[in-house]
Structure 1
Amino acid sequence: MITPPNIQYELADKQQAIAAGGIGTILQLSKQLDLRNEINQAIPLFKLHLPYDEADHVMNIAMNLLAGGNCLEHLEDRRSDEAYLNAVGAERIPDPTTAGDFCRRFSDTDILHLMNAFNRARQRVWKQQPEEFFDLAIIEADGTQVETSAEKKQGIGINYKGQWGYHPLVVTLANTREPLFIANRSGNRPSHEHSAFYFDLAIKRCRDAGFRKVVLRGDTDFSLTENLDRWTDDEVEFVFGLDAMPNLVKIADNLDESAWKTLRRRRSEKKPPEKPRAKRLRLKEQIVVENGYLNKRLAGERIAEFDYQPGKCNRTYRVVMLHKEVHLTRGQMRLFDKEEPVYFFYITNAAKKAKPARQVVIDANARCNQENNISQLKQCALCAPLNDLRSNWAYMVIASLAWNLKVWAGLMIKPSGTSEQRLEQAKMKSKVIAMDFTTFRDRILMIPAQIIRRSRSLLYRLLSYRPSVDVLLLIESNIRRPLRC
């Protein structure tokens, strides 16, 4: 079927078009949030603006990622594209070398000020949300490895897996998947390093925004027992994993059998299809059985809890235990149950009536979505294109603005109209917030548009239609509404 005719190329005379026609909506969003002013006030790095100011550099890097670029070198494609320059209203933009020099001007304090500038703009977006949005703020933290094969990057380290690179800490608002703070560290540093400091900053930011309850979540590395009493006094709830230390395992082994309850996880409540499709074979399981590999199968789960006082705490907390019963098989033969019991421990200060043991386990497992958030940030922000730790930290924070703008575009949707329209728009809002970065960019922003400059306006004329154009136009119409003060 693919039989193209004779193909020829020619350049248009006056018409100009760009592939990323949706970036006009993103530029309008940044203008509505007064983002440029916030950035310029937060990081006065230049004595003179000849010709770029600080916001020009920050927006240049973020818009490059949203317009289809993947690295600093792709700025050269943007700055040599006259249609793109007209689309963003610029005579010229910084080249890759100038952008790298800008990142090297930052101090640690400047980077913190820049993150606070983003957070002030973020609060304007939060103010547009319904009242129930402020019932609960779930703050999660985790570290991730940003690998690099370069040998001359200052601050890199090697982790226990033998990977060279940096080990940034990412503190996220789980409700909306927004990165509140990013802290770059050497590749050999532990995950929890400096996490209490950034947890405290995130708590204050959420409290100032009006959230009525704050919950902290993290894996075993983030159960910082020296801070638990302080957070409890501040009425901050937490659910952290706890290492299976020998004393905890001993308590679990000596518990009475009546203390254990079977854990039943709720399955999806989706209605089964009227015409169920035939199930495909589990090929991996089949290969394991045929080759006689040792196979571990989860046979059941039980939960129990007890009160426990960590060594650095002055009060007791609830510790919820999850016991996994694992069966070992080889081929078709059942060998024996796993000799050493498999325990998982979670520590929390939540009241039993408000959060039963089963809910504690579910909440702790829900933080696995933080891994998805980090993987999305690796598509745009978590990389190390520069030569030292601080400049790469600055780049990560600046590039994270691209992900933030994507989330803010979804949050700005205010469902309106008939009940059916409000329901449809609410689903669309949730879909945009949860959408992968590359999916958002390719489906919603990468719509070809002709750029027409007028005396007092700039017209984006979309050159094609697909269903995602409706989402773009919905976002654009909501962004133009006056902000709620």
Structure 2
Amino acid sequence: MQSTAWSKGLRVTADGTGVVSHVGAALLRMLADRVGLTGALSTVLTRREWWPGHDRGRVLTDLAVMIADGGEAICDIDVLRHQGEVFGPVASAATCWRALDEIDEVRLRHINVARAKVRARVWAMLGQLPVARAAGRDIGAGVVVLDVDSTIVIAHSDKEGAAPTYKHSYGFHPILVTCDNTGELFAVRLRPGNAGANTAADHLDVLTDAFAQVPTAHRRHLLVRGDSAAATHAVLDWLTEKGRKRGRTVEYSIGWSISENEHDAITTLPTTVWSPALAANGGVRDGADVAELTGLLTLPGWPDGMRVIVRRERPHPGAQLSLFEERDGWRYTAFITNTRTGSLQWLEARHRAHARVEDRIRCAKDTGLGRLPSREFAINTAWCVVAAIAADLIAWLQLLALHGDLATAEPKRLRYRILHTAARLVRGQRRQWLRIPKSWPWAEQITGAFNRIAAIPAPG
């Protein structure tokens, strides 16, 4: 009886006043304003002799806040719109549709320029860029690590661009670039479902956008990681050329397909050249070894200085092995890099840290990318850019205003603990006060975050 007694005498009415929900969304909205994102988007989306009822920079920022808050459809903007006592005037769903429909290729480029400008300001506020890590150690102070990968977004209806995918599903095949240092989503390119995984032109487009997102002061040393889909002549030649610019180092660590040439080279390796691989914590990985194949391979046409490193490990139960692997019982994977220093074990562990991009993609799908709202490809493309802005807002909130476990929490946890918090709205002393229940475990962290964001100097 005790387990059900909590609802005894409970009644629900719809006549409450002074209570607002999704208080944490105001954190993101205020952050966007204070770092200059709203103003920058307003500037680049302004058109001559055209005065819309709702500023388009404000509309896109509100859409990004709605997506970060867990919205999955444009009509979810009503969650903010119907709390005007806190958020003020918010555009309707119809206006949001029109705003997305107005974004063409030219405006997409302008939006990316605005994002890069604001990102430079945010990174300047950080003082020191977070250092990416692998195998329990820093990859290098000042090294900006970019992870490129593609994913499948399932479509449950016949949308423009939706097509059968190589994974025998139906939908889209976007390609993304994330920053391992900060968790930001630098660039995303929506592609039809039948787009190739190793299409060099698409990789170059998204990498070009991502490089432009790196603030100029931090472009001196870049590391690009990817899987074997990025291992094409065009991509590697482009990265090599970028690294030849004066004062800039561009390293790569990219998966490499193992063919008969690699099989032949592996069979000639003496047992003594294999070194134990490193685990994620920096210790020795039991049952895994690494070795270099570069000197045993003929690599005509590939960039000078490219190294091929192979890893072997005992397969887990149920793993699918090739005929070559079945002969000796090892499972082999390889990657290429132009990094000249560091042990093979360290370079291989640094490459395996690329797997974190899967977590970034999963979070991106949970923040707008997983459900595309329109039948029109152009609107869905604009939606993906707004989703990237939403991912950036979450990353900036964690970098600039949160501490402890919330600074590394995934979006879903942030929503349950911060963004969806309810509070009482009180007016007095010519101010509005949001009073969060003192019993809420994360109340102090929310108020602290508000104070830190409010202290950010207004953009000039």
TM range (shorter): 0.7 to 0.9
When residues 76 and 476 of structure 1 are mapped into structure 2, their CA distance, relative to the original with a 3 A threshold, is: closer
Using the alignment, how far apart are the partners of 1:195 and 1:223 within structure 2? 10
Query: What amino acid is aligned across from residue 124 of structure 1 in structure 2?
Result: R
Query: What amino acid is aligned across from residue 116 of structure 2 in structure 1?
Result: N
Using the alignment, how far apart are the partners of 1:316 and 1:211 within structure 2? 21
1:250 aligned onto 2:253: no
Q: Tell me by how many angstroms 1:327 deviates.
A: 8.1
Query: What amino acid is aligned across from residue 119 of structure 1 in structure 2?
Result: A
- The answer on whether the counterparts of 1:128 and 1:484 sit within 8 Å (CA) in structure 2 is no
Deviations along 1:309-351, one digit per CA (max 9) or x if unpaired, are: 644334242111112234879xxxxxxx932652211111111
Aligned residues: 427
Q: Tell me by how many angstroms 1:67 deviates.
A: 4.5
Q: Tell me by how many angstroms 1:159 deviates.
A: 0.9
When residues 120 and 207 of structure 1 are mapped into structure 2, their CA distance, relative to the original with a 3 A threshold, is: closer
1:186-265 equivalence runs, <5 A? 186-193=192-199, 194-206=202-214, 208-228=216-236, 229-234=240-245, 235-265=249-279
Using the alignment, how far apart are the partners of 1:400 and 1:380 within structure 2? 8
Q: 2:10 maps to which residue?
A: 7
Q: 2:309 maps to which residue?
A: 320
Give 2:390's match in structure 1, choosing from 402, 426, 441. Answer: 402
When residues 360 and 443 of structure 1 are mapped into structure 2, their CA distance, relative to the original with a 3 A threshold, is: same
1:365-384 equivalence runs, <5 A? 365-382=352-369, 383-384=371-372
- The answer on whether the counterparts of 2:150 and 2:176 sit within 8 Å (CA) in structure 1 is yes
Q: Tell me by how many angstroms 1:483 deviates.
A: 4.4
Q: 2:125 maps to which residue?
A: 128
Q: 1:115 maps to which residue?
A: 112
- The answer on whether the counterparts of 2:149 and 2:175 sit within 8 Å (CA) in structure 1 is yes
- The answer on whether the counterparts of 2:32 and 2:61 sit within 8 Å (CA) in structure 1 is no
Gaps of at least 5 residues in structure 1 are: 270-297, 330-336, 414-427
Gaps of at least 5 residues in structure 2 are: 131-140, 319-324
Q: Tell me by how many angstroms 1:304 deviates.
A: 0.8
Q: 2:144 maps to which residue?
A: 137
- The answer on whether the counterparts of 2:278 and 2:346 sit within 8 Å (CA) in structure 1 is no
Could you say which structure has the larger radius of gyration?
A: 1
Deviations along 1:435-454, one digit per CA (max 9) or x if unpaired, are: 11111111012221122456
- Give the SS at the match of 2:292: strand
Q: 1:70 maps to which residue?
A: 72
- The answer on whether the counterparts of 1:223 and 1:240 sit within 8 Å (CA) in structure 2 is yes
- The answer on whether the counterparts of 1:126 and 1:209 sit within 8 Å (CA) in structure 2 is no
1:71-470 equivalence runs, <5 A? 71-79=73-81, 81=82, 84-90=83-89, 93-131=90-128, 133=130, 135-151=142-158, 153-193=159-199, 194-206=202-214, 208-228=216-236, 229-234=240-245, 235-265=249-279, 267=281, 300-307=287-294, 310-326=299-315, 338-339=326-327, 341-352=330-341, 355-382=342-369, 383-413=371-401, 429=403, 431-452=405-426, 457-470=431-444
TM-score (norm 1): 0.80
Identity %: 19
- Give the SS at the match of 2:214: helix
- The answer on whether the counterparts of 2:28 and 2:397 sit within 8 Å (CA) in structure 1 is yes
Query: What amino acid is aligned across from residue 339 of structure 1 in structure 2?
Result: R
- The answer on whether the counterparts of 2:175 and 2:206 sit within 8 Å (CA) in structure 1 is no
- Give the SS at the match of 1:379: helix
Choose 429-438 or 121-130, whichever is displaced more. Answer: 429-438
Using the alignment, how far apart are the partners of 2:456 and 2:227 within structure 1? 41
- The answer on whether the counterparts of 1:225 and 1:310 sit within 8 Å (CA) in structure 2 is no
- Give the SS at the match of 2:314: strand
When residues 309 and 78 of structure 1 are mapped into structure 2, their CA distance, relative to the original with a 3 A threshold, is: same
Q: Tell me by how many angstroms 1:98 deviates.
A: 2.9
When residues 258 and 476 of structure 1 are mapped into structure 2, their CA distance, relative to the original with a 3 A threshold, is: same
Choose 458-467 or 363-372, whichever is displaced more. Answer: 458-467
Choose 363-372 or 468-477, whichever is displaced more. Answer: 468-477
Deviations along 1:24-44, one digit per CA (max 9) or x if unpaired, are: 322221221122210012223
CA RMSD of aligned residues (A): 2.7
Using the alignment, how far apart are the partners of 1:164 and 1:45 within structure 2? 38
Using the alignment, how far apart are the partners of 1:67 and 1:265 within structure 2? 35
